[in-house]
């Protein structure tokens, strides 16, 4: 998943505002999981929420840079999924590294075991990711 840095992404230091990487990573996760799949889950009142984020900001990006989000996922122990997500400059320089842990919850905000249909769907997607197919 690749995109340019827009005005909206920067702050007055000239660099990408740090919190925006969490947005970029989340956009990439939505593509990996599948936006239609998430919309369907929402109808069943299930949500993924971020439970933990560890982010290392190595180099800043500026307006006009093109960056790439690399995503690798691992079903750690249902209902927990770990995403290893990096923001990479088009020059291949690593900008930001992260481990984002997400959990499936229901609308009473309780962790929810992942339904088999989800695990199957997810493994299909994960396989694509591991094969380096860009979702």
Return the number of the residue (42 or 113) whose C-beta is nearest a copy of itself: 42
* Residues 86-125 close enough to bind a copy of itself by CB under 8 A: 109
9-22 burial: b if 16+ Cβ within 10 Å, else e: bbeeeebbeeebbb
Residues 6+ apart with CB under 8 A from 131: none
Q: Which residues pair with 67 in a beta bridge?
A: 3, 89
Q: Contact between 4 and a copy of itself (CB under 8 A)?
A: yes
CA atoms within 13 A on the CB side of 16: 26
Which of 35, 76, 94, 117 is the binder for a copy of itself (CB under 8 A)? 35
Q: Contact between 55 and a copy of itself (CB under 8 A)?
A: yes
Q: Contact between 135 and a copy of itself (CB under 8 A)?
A: no
Dihedrals phi, psi of 73, to nearest 5 degrees: -125, 155
CB 41 within 8 A of CB 47: yes
Which of 1, 44, 47, 82 is the binder for a copy of itself (CB under 8 A)? 47
Where on the chain is the footprint of a copy of itself (CB under 8 A)?
4, 6-8, 10-15, 17-20, 22-23, 26-27, 30, 35-36, 38-39, 42, 47, 49-57, 59-60, 62-64, 109
């Amino acid at each position: 998943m690749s995109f340019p840095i827009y005005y909206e992404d920067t702050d007055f230091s000239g660099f990408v505002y740090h919190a925006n990487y969490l947005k970029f990573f989340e956009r990439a996760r939505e593509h990996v999981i599948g936006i239609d799949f998430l919309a369907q889950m929402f109808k069943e009142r299930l949500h993924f929420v971020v439970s933990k984020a560890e982010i290392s900001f190595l180099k800043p990006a500026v307006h006009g840079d093109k960056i790439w989000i690399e995503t690798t996922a691992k079903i750690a122990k249902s209902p927990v999924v770990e995403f290893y997500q990096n923001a990479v400059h088009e020059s291949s320089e690593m900008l930001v590294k992260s481990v984002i842990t997400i959990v499936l919850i229901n609308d009473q905000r309780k962790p929810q075991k992942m339904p088999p249909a989800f695990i199957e769907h997810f493994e299909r997607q994960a396989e694509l990711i591991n094969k380096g197919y860009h979702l």
